[in-house]
Amino acid sequence: VSTQSTGWTALKEKRDAYVKRLNGIYNNNLAKDNITYIQGDARFTGERTVEVNGEQYEGEHVLIAVGGAPSLPDIPGAELCDTSDQFFEWDTLPSKCLVIGAGYIAVEIAGILHNLGVDSTLVARRSAILRSFDADISKNLMSEMSDAGQNVQYNTTPKSITKEEDGTFTFHGHKEGEGDIELRGFEKVLFAVGRHPLTSKLGLEKAGINVDGRGNIMVDEYQNTTAERVYAVGDVCGKALLTPVAIAAGRHLSHRLFNEEKERKLNYENIPTVVFSHPPIGTVGLTQAEAEAQYGADNIKIYQSKFTNMYYSMTTRKPKTYMKLICVLPEERIVGLHVLGLGADEMLQGFSVAVVAGATKKQFDATVAIHPTSAEEFVTMNWGLSV
């Protein structure tokens, strides 16, 4: 048994125990608050009426928060593969694994496997990963992944997956500029190519609840669906698919409905996001492309910095930290803040407050730095000189 697999087994056992403990805490909290918990599949049978296990339930208000699930592509052999849902069900680590996708889940899982010593390959359909993020963040992450020895196949479209007689999997795809290719010998293949809302079996049409072409429930800015006093929050709405976003939207909705805060709603702008890649990414606000589209390229100023974190001063490999501020002229209000590097996940929350509050570059410059930290670079960046 490999040391990697032994470590994975211990990690999985502790992770499973932690999740079980959390589930118990939540169940206890529900009981303490006198909330009735009914386990089963629910579907609407009429306006604000649902059926669960053959019983009918009617509410003055109904909230839908059923979330989503990983999607598999419509190609031969996809059913043989795993998704992120199965990742922590693996009892042992594969010696060789293929991850298909270019979003944050694919990047995170590929990074975990690589750093655990698995011979892993990431396949991306386009020439870049994390394409919804700022282009410089994507570019610098790709460079860091390459320097770390991660194998990434860009511009590669999956066509099929086959299982060989020895139990391994073969990837059949098309690589731009090279034609059809095969990648062989994988013990596991994992797709991370997007998610879909779990709405198809809810009987939404019985309650007059409209969905878009992908099955996402259509809501307004107050989380109202098209049915009176029926609401939806979270991944089921198809917007900002992050757990803290669903929690925040639910809290705002609760205050609006039950605390007479009639205008309370979640602002979906400037939502901080972290990708637990290697190294991690933190981002809040607009990308440079979004800022240029919204304000015009002549009306924004970019500040950026790239350096080696002091933590790596005595190591052989020296991963870089990259930081970027996107400011709108003339006051240089910061509308985008992006960081790639050690500690990005922890430093982002505080800087997100500043961006939400409308902080300017001048206010950042007026803040005393904390030394030695990476975060100090945001308040000393270029000492007022744009790049």
Residues annotated catalytic, as ranges: 371
CB 332 within 8 A of CB 301: yes
Return the amino acid letter for 356: V
Which residue, 305, 336, 358, is CA-closest to 133?
Answer: 336
Q: Is 327 exposed, middle or buried (0-12, 13-18, 19+ CB in 10 A)?
A: buried
d(Cα 202, Cα 41) in Å, to the nearest integer? 8
3-state DSSP assignment of residue 243: helix
Tracing tokens 């031969």 back to the chain, one arrives at 76
CB under 8 Å, gap of 24 or more: what pairs does 248-254 form?
249/223, 250/63, 250/65, 252/223, 253/63, 253/222, 253/223
Among residues 147, 141, 98, 142, the alpha carbon closest in space to that of 123 is found at 98
CA 252 – CA 267 distance, rounded (Å):
10
Q: What's the rounded Cα separation, in Å, for the pair 56 and 338?
A: 49
